[in-house]
Structure 1
Amino acid sequence: MFGNSRSVLIKVNMDVFVVLLMLSGFCVSTASFPNIYYFISENKTWDEANAYCIMEYTGLAQITNPENNTALMNTSAGGYTGKAWIGLVGPLGWVWLDGTQATYFMWDQEPWASDTGYCGLTTYHGWHSVICEYEWYFICFNGSDYIVNKTRVTWNDAKISCENKNSTLAQILDLLTFDKVRRAFRNNNLDEYEPLWIGLSFSPVWFWSETKQISTFVNWKTGQPNNKNNCAAVLVGNGTWTTEPCSEQHPFFCYGVHKSKKTVLSMNIQTDVDLETPDNQAALMEQLQAALAKQGVTDFKLTWTKQPVQKSRKKTDDACLNV
C-alpha cells in the first residue's frame, strides 16, 4: 500500500514563478499493514458473501499473517461468536512440484485420489493416479530434454533422482508438452502402456479467493481442515478456522486495504535567491525535507514542478477614453 501523500504549494514572492512540491508516499509492502475488516451480519452462502464483498469492499476476508488475524479478531461483531465466512477456499488437489495448481489434465482414467499419498503417472495415452509408494520408471526434464529413467522407484525417490541430475520430474502443463513426453516414449522404445512417474501429486492446499495466494499462515481449529468441504469460516469466538459446505448460510467478514491520503498545504516564501538555479532548488528541497522530518513526516517523496504565474489584471475604471 501507500503511505500518506501531501502536496505543498510554494508561492515565491519575487514574481518569478510558482513551484508545486509534491510529497508522495513511498510504496511499501501490503504486509506492512493489517487489512481492514468489516463484519456483515447478514446470512449468505459463501458465493453470495463473496459477491457482496467484491461489490462493496475488496473481497471476502484475506488473513495472510498474524497481524491480519489480530485485526480481524479486534473487529466488532456485535457480540456474535459463531461461524463467519472468510475468503479461504480449497483444497486445490493436484499440484506440480513447484507448488502451482494443475489446470491442464490428460487423465486416461479418472483419478482415485481424495487425500494425500497419491501421485501422477503417465503412459503414452494419458495419466493415472496411484499410491506414491508404488515403484515405476520415471521421466525427468533438464530444461531442454525429457529423459526416461528405467529404474523402478517410488515417486519421492524419482523426484530426488531427477534433482541429483540437475533436473526435475516432468511437469506437463499443456498438450504441446505432453506431445514431447510422448515422443520420449518412442525414442526410448517404451511400451505405450508403460507408466512413468511425472511431477504431479495430490496436495490439498488452501488459497485466498481474492489474491489466489496459497495459504501459508493458517489458524485451523484442531482436527481441521477435513478436506471434505471447500469453503472456510472463522469461529468468531476464538479466531480458529473450520471448513464448511459452501451452500450453508453464515455472516461474513469483508476486507479493505489502507489507501493513501492527500493534504494540500500552502506556504508563502520570501527570498532573493534565484530559484531557476538547480543548486538553489536542491538546497530549498533539503530544507523543506528537514523541516517536515522535524514534524514527524518521514514517509514521503518530494518532487519539484515549475508552474507559470498568472499575473493579476488591474481593475479598470468605468470611463470613456476621449479621442
Structure 2
Amino acid sequence: MDLSFLFPKQTVSGLVKDWLKEDIPSFDYGGVIVGEDIKTAHLLGKQHGYFSGRLFVQEIFDELKCKVEWFIKDGEEIKYQDGKPHLLATVVGPVRNILIGERLSLNIISRSCGITTRGKTLNLKVRKEFPDWKGKIAGTRKTTPGFRLVEKYALLVAGLDSHRMDLSSMIMLKDNHIWSCGNITNAVKNARTVGGFTLKIEVECRSQVEAIEAIEAGADVVMLDNFKPEDHKPVSNFLKTKYPHVIIELSGGITSDTILQYITNDVDIISMGNLTQGVPHIDISLKIQKQ
C-alpha cells in the first residue's frame, strides 16, 4: 500500500511552498555565488535506520525544477555499514536550486526517518515478543506545530497508529474537560450532543470507577492514564470482560523499555508521546558531485 496517496497534491505543495518561503524570505545569496550550472547531488544515508519522507523531498525538488531518481522507498531499511553511506537518491538540476532544497530536505527526512526508525524498531520488538497481540501502538497529539502531517505520516510508515490527527478528529475528554463539566457523565453527554453519531468519544480515566462511569455514559474509548503494569491488568480485564465493545487504551509514562510489561489481550491501544518527542534524527546528507 502506498501511504503517500493519503496526501492530496495541493496539501504537500502548500507545505513545501511555505517551507521554502520561510527559508528564503528575501535574497538567495548562495544562489548568486554558485550560479545555474547543471550538477548532480547524492542523497546519502549515513546511519542505520528506516526511511520515510520521500514524497516531501520529491515535492521540494519538483518545485525547484530538479529531477530526483530514488533508490529507496518509505519503510525500507537504510543500510549503513562499515562507514559506507547508503545512496538513497540522486538529484540533478541547476546547482543553486539543489542548494536551496538541500537543508530543507535534510531537516524533513532526518526527523521523519528518526520517528519511523524509533516506531518501527519498537513495533518489531513488541511483535516478536507478543506475535498474537491484536492491539496497536499509537502516537499522540504531542507533535511539532506546522510539522504534524510529516510526523503522523512517519508513524504510519513505521506500522503504527497515528491516533487522532487533531481536535476535530475525535472527542477526547481529559481531566480539564471533566473538571470543567463537573463530572464524567456530564462531559460525555455534552460531547455526544455536539459530536453526534460520527465521532468517537474517548475519556481519560484514573481508576476503574471512572472508567465504568465513562462507559455507562456512552464513551467509545476509555484511556487508563498513568497506570502501573500491575495495576492496569485487573482493570483492563474487568472492563473488557464486562464491556467487550469498548476500546481500552493505555497511556502515560510508557517507554520503549517498559512497554512489554503492559501488553495483554485486553488492551487495544498503547499510546506513547515519546514516539514523536525527543526522537534522535537519522544522519543524512546531500553532496554535490565533482565533475
TM-score exceeds 0.5: no
Question: Which has the larger helix fraction?
Answer: 2
Structure 1 or 2: more strand by fraction: 1
- Please, what TM-score do these two structures have when normalized by structure 2? 0.24
Q: With a CA cutoff of 8 Å and minimum separation of 6, indicate the structure with the bigger relative contact order.
A: 1
- State the TM-score, normalized to the length of structure 1: 0.22
